[in-house]
Amino acid sequence: MHRLLYVSSTPQDFPHDELQSILRQSRDNNHRRDVTGLLLYIDGGFLQVLEGDRTALHDLYALIAKDTRHWDAKVLLDEEAPRNFGWWSMGFRAVRPETSEPGLVSITKEAVRGLIRPGGAKRILEILIQTFQSVQGADL
């Protein structure tokens, strides 16, 4: 089992219908590839964890990185690891700074801005697991 964590930049006013389109497409593609994960949108960026076969993840990321709805994609983690988000073909949350865990918001914004180096990505993953473990199985 393999895990890939990346961040990318988006427009701050990313249209809701585009987010829904990305989510539908991700769920369909991931289900076919036996990929699971979590996608967060925080105004101005995406943070995504993908889990599955290493080759499948790298092929999928190559497609994701070419998507023109976001830019400046940066891989922060690319490692062998167990599934932590196995309930979802793609969990999703639009994270609002005023209603979400402050640590998650600040560390994600830092990652999108390029202030988190790949070695610091473990902390992001720990926060994601702690934050979303309690809602595994819920429709995100």
Q: Which segments of the chain have a pLDDT < 50?
A: 138, 140
* Fold held by 2-133: Alpha-Beta Plaits (3.30.70)
Q: What is the pTM of this model?
A: 0.83
Q: What pLDDT was estimated at residue 87?
A: 81
Separation of alpha carbons 102 and 79, rounded Å: 27
Q: State residue 53 phi and psi, 5-degree precision.
A: -65, 135
Q: What pLDDT was estimated at residue 101?
A: 63
Quick one: which H or E segment has residue 109?
Answer: helix 102-112
Separation of alpha carbons 112 and 35, rounded Å: 23
Q: DSSP secondary-structure letter at 97?
A: T
Q: What pLDDT was estimated at residue 89?
A: 84
Q: Enumerate the β-bridge partners of residue 69.
A: none
Q: What pLDDT was estimated at residue 83?
A: 92
Q: What pLDDT was estimated at residue 62?
A: 95
Q: What pLDDT was estimated at residue 53?
A: 96
* Tens of pLDDT, residues 11-24: 888 888 998 999 99
